[in-house]
Structure 1
Amino acid sequence: MRTRLLAATLTALAAVSLAACSSSGSSSGKATAAAGSPTTAAATPSDASTPGSTGSTGSTASTSGTAGTPGTPAPSATGTADGATGAPAPGTDGSAPAKPAPPADAGLPAKPDADVTGKVVAALKAIDPAIVGDKPDQVVEQARKQCQSMYQFPKDKAKLIELADQHFTSPDHPQGFGPDTAAKINDALRATLCPPPR
């Protein structure tokens, strides 16, 4: 009975000396030495028989560890939030998702059959026979390219006139047939070959 009482007293004394250690290092060192020297044998059984002493010391350490690092979870939580925000879902940052680039042949009509080819050639010859010359197949290919330009720039008349002057040339008109003829070419192609605008 006395041994347990002595062990409890030593445990309380050890706890007080540990608490005093934070305020005064030298005095707590002396108190710990004084408390530990007379009854070393008694301290050993108390540690073995009363796990509460170790538990109290362990709880003090765990409490101090918890109190010493209250901010540790907060940065990790913030890091998680930042990580989640670092990879925003589409549309959360206000920008629309990028549209895929149209294919290279977008707006390019299929090669026309003989009937459509005849209509295209006739319409261009009606504007100026020099547009077709003696190369109707080549003119039809240029007409298909002009249709693709109309698909790409449906409302830019000036651009389409400029492109028609580049597509349709002849030995006598190496720079094209001029803006008036180019506009007529565009109208003829819309009526015969180019798909209607969407």
Structure 2
Amino acid sequence: MRTTTAAALSAIALLATLTACGGSTDDTAEKPSPEKRTASEITPEQRAAARKAAGLPDDPNPAQRQVYLEGLNAIDKDIVHGKDDKAVSRGINQCGTVKSSPDDYVKLVASTNSRFTSPDHPDGHGTITAERILKVVRENICPTF
């Protein structure tokens, strides 16, 4: 009796799994809603509006970007470590912390240190380097914050 019951339960479970896995392959399948879009599907206008709402600066223009990256590389090439876009993104994000806590220098240095990591410095580059990075960020990415 146990074998029959176990076999029946296994068959029901298998049938339920196969039914759940079945899906439509036609073009009438529901498309992702705007809320489910990935970052690569967001328009530049939407990105700018989201940044403004979050209090983040726009992307630096090419000249500002170059000066910023040169400033970081002058401190230590391992800060950027060949990832220019990532370094710019981290600078923009650090500006959010600058804007929310402009007078909390200890917090700003700590967040800079934890944000600017690399494979060779997974825990950050240390307080002195973080202070120098913060200065470059504030001067080049968010000078009005």
Q: Same fold (TM over 0.5)?
A: yes
Deviations along 1:73-116, whole A, 9 cap, x unmatched? xxxxxxxxxxxxxxxxxxxxxxxxxxxxxx7511x110112111
Shift of 1:196: 2.0
Q: Of the candidates 118, 129, 132, which is equivalent to residue 66 of structure 2? A: 118
Highest CA radius of gyration, 1 or 2?
1
Partner of 1:131: 79
Q: Give the alignment's TM-score, normalised by structure 1.
A: 0.46
Report which structure shows greater RCO (CA 8 Å, sep ≥6). 2
Deviation at residue 191 of structure 1 after TM alignment = 1.4
Preserved CA contact (<8 Å) 1:127 1:181:
yes
Asked if 1:143 corresponds to 2:91, the answer is yes
Q: Which residue pairs with 1:179 in the alignment? A: 127
SS in 2 for 1:175: coil
* Equivalent AA in structure 2 for residue 196 of structure 1: T
Is 1:153 matched with 2:101? yes
Counting aligned pairs with the same residue, the percent is 36
In the aligned structure 2, how far is the partner of 1:169 from the partner of 1:114?
A: 24
Aligned CA RMSD, in angstroms, stands at 1.3
Q: Determine if the alignment matches structure 1 residue 105 to structure 2 residue 54.
A: yes
AA aligned to 1:118 is: Q
Counterparts of 1:2-151 in structure 2, within 5 Å, are: 105-106=54-55, 108-151=56-99
Unaligned runs of 5+ in 1: 1-102
What amino acid sits opposite 2:72 in the alignment?
L
Give 1:137 deviation, angstroms.
0.7
Question: Could you tell me which amino acid in structure 1 is paired with residue 129 of structure 2?
Answer: T
| Residue correspondences, number | 94
**Cα distance, 1:167 vs structure 2:** 1.1
SS in 2 for 1:110: coil
Give the distance between the partners of 1:168 and 1:153, measured in 2 at CA: 18
Mapped partners of 1:190, 1:162: distance in 2: 15
Which runs of structure 1 show a deviation greater than 2 angstroms over 4 or more consecutive aligned residues?
none
